[in-house]
């Protein structure tokens, strides 16, 4: 009777507050959660994790810039479409659950490819404290948590922090630049990353500069290897 009652309540709530797909805005069918079945079928999956590292275009983009073991992105970033809608809801419409959902879906794909055995710790790219306070959550933390749940690999948002707001050097004195005090990220728990294979995760990859800066800091502090995964890559 309890189950029947709860079902009746949820059906009634769905009539009053219909739920919509965060990717296409169509109303969700019973049993669908956040993303409709059509969108789930039609999302532009990269499937980079099925390619060798020489075939993988994302890995090639880091070549010569930073030593990356694996570079994956769940989706191809497409403007004015499903991917942009998902990311917009995740970052600006207070729907952190999208990050976790996509992390779980991607994590189970990576798990099938044996990726679980290749990583020791998942680390989300941190936000500067002011931005974190404004948004209330770090969208990359949510993606990391979803991946962690599916892959059964621990994640931590405590090992590295963002220490500067902007990468522009215009306001820095020449002396400050010379001293290299303008770095964006700083490892706060070096013992947690030492000799470990790190998967650094972020929401969107455009130029790759953020992942590169954050990854360099992890490598400089003794992680064994660095891999990268994002929700979407442009
Ligand atoms: Zn949809």
Residues 148 and 107 sit within 8 Å (Cβ to Cβ) = yes
Q: How far is the CA of 23 from the centre of ligand 1 (A)?
A: 5
pTM summary value: 0.88
Q: How far is the CA of 3 from the centre of ligand 1 (A)?
A: 28
Q: How far is the CA of 36 from the centre of ligand 1 (A)?
A: 4
- Please list, in sequence order, all residues whose beta carbon lies within 8 angstroms of the beta carbon of residue 48, skipping any fewer than 6 positions away: 56, 57, 58, 59, 71, 72, 73
Residues 229 and 82 sit within 8 Å (Cβ to Cβ) = no
Task: Note down pLDDT in tens along the chain; length 234 residues.
Answer: 567 888 787 777 666 666 899 999 999 998 999 999 999 999 999 999 999 988 999 999 999 999 999 999 999 998 899 999 999 999 999 999 999 999 999 999 999 999 999 999 999 999 999 999 999 999 999 999 999 999 999 999 999 999 998 755 555 555 555 555 568 999 999 999 999 999 999 999 999 999 999 999 999 999 999 999 999 999
Q: How far is the CA of 95 from the centre of ligand 1 (A)?
A: 15
Q: How far is the CA of 117 from the centre of ligand 1 (A)?
A: 33
Q: Which tens digit of pLDDT belongs to each residue from 111-149?
A: 999 999 999 999 999 999 999 999 999 999 999 999 999
Q: How far apart are CA 213 and CA 225, in angstroms?
A: 15
Q: CA nearest 67: which of 182, 211, 169?
A: 211
Interior angle at CA 185, CA 184 and CA 191, nearest 5: 165
Q: CA nearest 157: which of 209, 196, 200?
A: 200
Q: How far is the CA of 29 from the centre of ligand 1 (A)?
A: 10
């Amino acid at each position: 009777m309890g189950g029947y009652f709860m079902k009746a309540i949820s059906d009634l709530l769905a009539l009053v507050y219909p739920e919509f797909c965060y990717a296409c805005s169509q109303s969700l069918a019973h049993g669908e959660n956040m993303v409709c079945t059509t969108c789930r079928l039609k999302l532009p999956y990269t499937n980079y994790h099925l390619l060798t590292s020489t075939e993988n275009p994302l890995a090639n983009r880091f070549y010569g810039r930073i030593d990356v073991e694996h570079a994956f992105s769940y989706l191809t970033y497409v403007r004015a479409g499903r991917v942009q809608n998902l990311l917009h809801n995740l970052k600006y419409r207070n729907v952190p659950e999208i990050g976790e959902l996509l992390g779980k879906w991607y994590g189970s794909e990576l798990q099938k490819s044996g990726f679980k055995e290749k990583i020791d710790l998942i680390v989300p790219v941190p936000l500067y404290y002011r931005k974190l306070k404004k948004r209330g959550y770090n969208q990359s933390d949510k993606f990391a948590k979803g991946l962690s749940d599916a892959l059964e690999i621990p994640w931590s948002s405590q090992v590295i922090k963002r220490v500067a707001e902007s990468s522009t050097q215009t306001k820095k004195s020449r002396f400050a630049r010379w001293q290299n005090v303008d770095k964006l990220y700083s490892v706060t728990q070096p013992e947690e990353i030492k000799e470990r294979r790190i998967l650094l995760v972020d929401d969107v990859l455009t130029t790759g500069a953020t992942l590169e800066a954050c990854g360099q800091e992890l490598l400089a502090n003794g992680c064994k290897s660095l891999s990268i995964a994002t929700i979407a890559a442009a």
